[in-house]
Structure 1
Amino acid sequence: MACVSAASVTFRALSKPSLKSNETSSLKIVSLGYRRNGFPSLRSSRFRVSCAAKPETVDKVCEIVRKQLALPAEAELTPESKFSAIGADSLDTVEIVMALEEEFGISVEEESSQNITTVQEAADMIEKLVQKKPEA
């Protein structure tokens, strides 16, 4: 079953401007519409509930990110640090995920790795995967 939703926005003047007889109005009605499927960035995000990762997991993720991006020790990394804001491109992000997999003995699905944009998201994902990991 397909479901399509659409929204539109219309701007209209509330009052007419007074014009002299030889002037024309540049005021026009503007309509903007989009179909939800037309703009992927406007799709509603999923509701997600997750608990925060352990501080030691966040610290380890920061350590790995710092090493992978060759960041100086004084560079500030917080759980809210976005990989893109600290200079990571898509290849760097892949390398960070691979280092996290190796360090924590987990396997991250490609789809999940594409959703990791911050240190906190990486740490939360690690906690979730470590909990699911069968005991050896």
Structure 2
Amino acid sequence: MAAFTSNLMSPSHLACQALAPTRVSGLKMVSFSNSGRSNLPLSFRRLQVSCAAKPETVDKVCGIVRKQLALKDDIAVTGESKFASLGADSLDTVEIVMGLEEEFGITVEEESAQSIATVQDAADLIEKLCEKNSA
């Protein structure tokens, strides 16, 4: 049994390896190498690209979140910060969204607001809505 387990864990049996993310013109590209294997799930065979919001947008969102939650200066707020980890409850999240709508002159639909969990999620949604409004 031990030999079987060690064979499963050997590098030659890994189905896929994530390559280091690369930023190109504001896009974060993540690619996967399947080492010639075709039995990978479809989600591992696709190249995944996500748009990252401008740093200025993320900074503005961080400021709004910090203000709405009355966070002390020693608490770090970054794009990866989750609202729940910062102590936000559902009412706080609604107030954050309202603050974002006011600051950026946008309207966030309820379905979209429910999908926001991090500062980066909010910043990405804001840029998407601002782009949509300017088109």
TM-score by length of 2: 0.62
> Which amino acid counterpart does residue 106 of structure 2 have in structure 1?
I
5+ residue gaps, structure 1, are 1-47
**In the TM superposition, what is the alpha-carbon distance from 1:77 to its structure 2 partner?**
0.8
Structure 2 residue aligned with 1:91? 91
| Aligned pairs (5 A) from 1:42-121 | 49-121=49-121
Retained in 2: the 8 A contact 1:58–1:120?
Answer: yes
RMSD: 1.3
Moved over 3 A (4+): none
Higher relative contact order (CA 8 A, sep 6+): 1
Cα drift, residue 50 of structure 1 = 3.1
> What letter corresponds to residue 57 of structure 1 in structure 2?
T
Deviation at 1:49, TM superposition (A): 4.9
Per the normalisation by structure 1, the TM-score is 0.62
Percent of aligned pairs with the same amino acid: 73
Residue 50 of structure 1 contacts residue 124 of structure 1 at CA under 8 Å; is this kept in 2? no
Runs of 5+ unmatched residues, structure 2: 1-47
Larger Rg: 1
